[in-house]
């Protein structure tokens, strides 16, 4: 509505004139802008409406809202009614819709957060390196593999359930679910460890280390879901610092008890802080946004906690996450079991690649956010579905290449440190195994990207098939390269097909 068509009504109950102080009523002046003389001038006056209108009815509504009646347009322009003049204006003015105001970026996040997560994923590897010299006897590898696979599978399910409750804005219920899941996870871990210790007799120190490994995984999962990642540096400090000093000074045997105490402090701290943070009485001043579950959301305490903790549907929904944790863990640890030949033995390439692959998960998280932001920008700036499909696939390719580049740089850095500290003595023969892990890292990145967009079944099935090929064929490094490269190609092709659709990015 134009400003000139609206009278400026300034009222007063009474005004005193200069003639005896008697009140007189103020006259109201209706200011009216001059009417346009022809249709062209009328189009100029309503140019923004005409350029954005999808049909003449929008222009007619704007004219009537501004005070134009059928009688006025008939008298001035010789047309039958407002709708007739609106159709004429619609024909004369080309469509140039105004760009909408840019929406706030929902994926704005600190660049330090993914780097922080990468450190949290990679630092525990130092604990494994220090413990390798302390764990002796039969069944060490079996115990560690069972502990890792059990804790990875259950912690993925626990993370899914916790994020699901936080996504509903129910912090109290999320705390209850995480606390119950923490207890259930520990029970499941102890049962798995008891079963493997019956099948393969091991020393108590090995059993305790396996339980501690799983305990750290569960505690760290709870803290990360609740946005308390920084506390994990406090959790990791005794184990990582103790392990680092132990490795640097050459693993002296008389430090064994000190190192064991430092390593034991980490899972105990993780469990203690996780239990404290899942208490509804604890405040969460730093609880913020949670990327990776589709939308950013700030959790708010519920007025009353729900009486029912979990339904059967919740547990069924968490099963794909648990399955993915299991098969992804299997793909990561199988090279240690199979060795270079496929029938056991030391695998230096797997040792060198495992730490950078863990650290690269921070880069994967950042690339996921980067991909989200770029595709959201494409949604706003692309006018056809075909153009969006092409450009989104180019963005997907760029994200994958950036992740692989970051992983290669991490592998080079870790290998350089390992050589300088004489922890390992690599040669060119480790390149095939490192290549297999690099392809596996790219496949894991694509799988996580698909899961972030709600596609969980296909990545799980593809990873399970790749693991079955590795375990069934026992072809050593060659089989791992074939399985991992094939997995990367299949997942990347599926992602290009699925994520090229605009509807996947509308949420």
Any domain includes 283 = yes
Same domain, 219 and 296: yes
CB atoms within 10 A of CB 47: 13
Contact 2, 45 (CB under 8 A): yes
CB atoms within 10 A of CB 474: 11
For the entire predicted model, the pTM comes to 0.72
Which of 92, 127, 151 is the last residue before a domain boundary? Answer: 92
CB neighbours of 432 closer than 8 A, spacing ≥ 6? 349, 477, 478, 481
Which of 264, 279, 310 is the last residue before a domain boundary? Answer: 310
- Structure tokens that stand for 55 in this block: 């049909």
Any domain includes 405 = yes
| Residue 333: half-sphere exposure toward Cβ, Cα within 13 Å | 19
pLDDT of residue 104: 61
Any domain includes 141 = yes
Same domain, 362 and 449: yes
**Number of folded domains that form the chain:** 3
Q: How far apart are CA 383 and CA 444, in angstroms?
A: 32
Same domain, 263 and 115: yes
Give me the residue label for tokens 């009140």: 23
pLDDT of residue 7: 38
Phi/psi of residue 134, nearest 5 degrees: -100, -20
Which of 310, 333, 352 is the last residue before a domain boundary? Answer: 310
Number of H helices, E strands in the chain: 18, 2
- Select from 415, 391, 416 the least CA-distant residue to 502: 391
pLDDT in tens, the chain (507 residues): 444 333 333 333 333 344 444 433 333 333 344 566 678 888 888 888 888 888 888 889 999 888 888 888 888 888 888 998 899 899 888 888 766 666 565 556 666 677 777 777 777 776 776 777 777 767 788 888 898 899 999 999 999 999 988 888 888 888 999 999 999 999 999 999 999 888 888 888 888 888 998 999 999 999 989 988 888 888 988 888 888 888 778 778 788 888 889 889 999 999 999 999 987 654 444 444 333 333 334 444 444 444 567 888 888 999 999 999 999 988 988 888 777 766 666 667 777 788 788 888 888 888 888 898 888 888 888 878 888 899 999 999 999 999 999 999 988 888 887 777 666 666 777 888 888 889 999 999 999 999 988 899 999 999 999 999 888 877 778 888 899 999 999 999 999 999 998 888 765
pLDDT of residue 305: 47
- Select from 265, 263, 271, 223 the least CA-distant residue to 117: 223
Same domain, 223 and 329: no
Any domain includes 485 = yes
Same domain, 296 and 328: no
Beta bridge partners of 24: 15
- Structure tokens that stand for 236 in this block: 């990791």
Residue 250, burial from CB neighbour count under 10 angstroms (0-12, 13-18, 19+): exposed
Beta bridge partners of 437: none
Residue 450, burial from CB neighbour count under 10 angstroms (0-12, 13-18, 19+): buried
CB neighbours of 334 closer than 8 A, spacing ≥ 6? 467, 470, 471, 480
Determine the Cα angle at 385 with ends 383 and 386, to 5°.
105
DSSP 105: -
Same domain, 332 and 305: no
Any domain includes 362 = yes
Any domain includes 104 = no
| H-run or E-run covering 23 | strand 23-24
- Structure tokens that stand for 115 in this block: 């780097």
Same domain, 158 and 302: yes
Q: How far apart are CA 69 and CA 63, in angstroms?
A: 8
Same domain, 206 and 343: no
Same domain, 154 and 276: yes
Same domain, 362 and 472: yes
DSSP 24: E
Contact 366, 110 (CB under 8 A): no
Same domain, 118 and 38: no
- Structure tokens that stand for 234 in this block: 């406090």
Determine the Cα angle at 125 with ends 119 and 129, to 5°.
145
- Select from 402, 472, 469 the least CA-distant residue to 436: 469
- Structure tokens that stand for 398 in this block: 């760029």
Contact 434, 353 (CB under 8 A): yes
CB neighbours of 461 closer than 8 A, spacing ≥ 6? none
| H-run or E-run covering 271 | helix 256-277
Q: How far apart are CA 160 and CA 252, in angstroms?
A: 42
Same domain, 358 and 493: yes
Q: How far apart are CA 265 and CA 242, in angstroms?
A: 10
pLDDT of residue 311: 83
pLDDT of residue 338: 74
Domain residue limits at 236: 111-310
Any domain includes 98 = no
Any domain includes 191 = yes
């Amino acid at each position: 509505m134009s400003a000139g068509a609206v009278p400026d009504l300034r009222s007063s109950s009474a005004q005193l004139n200069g003639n005896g102080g008697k009140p007189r009523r103020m006259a109201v002046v209706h200011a009216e802008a001059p009417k346009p003389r022809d249709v062209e001038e009328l189009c100029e006056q309503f140019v923004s409406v005409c350029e954005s209108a999808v049909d003449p009815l929008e222009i007619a509504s704007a004219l009537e809202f501004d005070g134009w009646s059928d009688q006025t347009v008939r008298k001035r322009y010789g047309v039958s009614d407002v709708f007739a003049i609106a159709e004429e204006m619609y024909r004369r003015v080309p469509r140039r819709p105004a760009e909408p105001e840019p929406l706030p970026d929902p994926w704005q996040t600190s660049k330090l957060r993914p780097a922080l997560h990468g450190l949290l994923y990679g630092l525990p590897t130092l604990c494994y390196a220090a413990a390798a010299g302390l764990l002796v006897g039969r069944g060490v590898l079996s115990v560690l593999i069972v502990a890792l696979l059990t804790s990875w599978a259950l912690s993925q399910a626990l993370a899914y359930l916790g994020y699901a409750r936080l996504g509903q804005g129910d912090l109290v219920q999320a705390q209850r679910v995480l606390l119950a899941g923490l207890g259930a996870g520990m029970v499941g871990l102890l049962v798995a460890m008891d079963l493997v210790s019956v099948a393969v007799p091991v020393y108590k120190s090995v059993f305790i280390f396996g339980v501690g490994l799983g305990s750290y995984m569960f505690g760290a999962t709870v803290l990360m879901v609740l946005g308390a990642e920084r506390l994990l540096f406090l959790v990791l400090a005794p184990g990582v610092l103790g392990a680092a000093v132990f490795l640097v000074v050459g693993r002296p045997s008389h430090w064994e008890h000190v190192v064991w105490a430092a390593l034991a402090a980490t899972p105990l701290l993780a469990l203690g802080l996780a239990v404290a943070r899942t208490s509804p009485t604890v405040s969460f001043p730093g609880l913020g946004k949670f990327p990776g579950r589709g939308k950013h959301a700030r959790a708010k305490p519920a007025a009353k906690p729900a009486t029912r903790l979990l339904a059967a549907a919740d547990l069924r929904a968490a099963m794909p996450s648990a399955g993915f944790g299991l098969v992804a863990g299997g793909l990561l640890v199988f090279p240690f079991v199979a060795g270079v030949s496929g029938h056991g033995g030391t695998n230096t390439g797997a040792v060198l690649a495992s730490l950078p692959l863990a650290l690269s998960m921070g880069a994967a998280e950042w690339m996921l956010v980067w991909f989200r932001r770029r595709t959201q920008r494409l949604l706003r700036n692309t006018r056809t579905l075909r153009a969006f499909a092409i450009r989104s696939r180019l963005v997907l390719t760029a994200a994958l290449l950036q992740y692989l580049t970051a992983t290669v740089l991490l592998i080079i850095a870790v290998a350089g440190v390992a050589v300088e500290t004489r922890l390992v003595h690599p040669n060119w023969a480790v390149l095939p195994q490192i290549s297999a892990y690099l392809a596996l890292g790219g496949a894991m990145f694509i799988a996580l990207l698909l899961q972030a967009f709600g596609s969980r079944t296909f990545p799980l099935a593809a990873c399970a098939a790749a693991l079955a090929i590795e375990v069934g064929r026992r072809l050593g490094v060659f089989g791992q390269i074939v399985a991992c490269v094939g997995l990367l190609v299949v997942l990347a092709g599926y992602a290009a097909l699925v994520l090229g659709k605009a509807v996947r990015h509308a949420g």
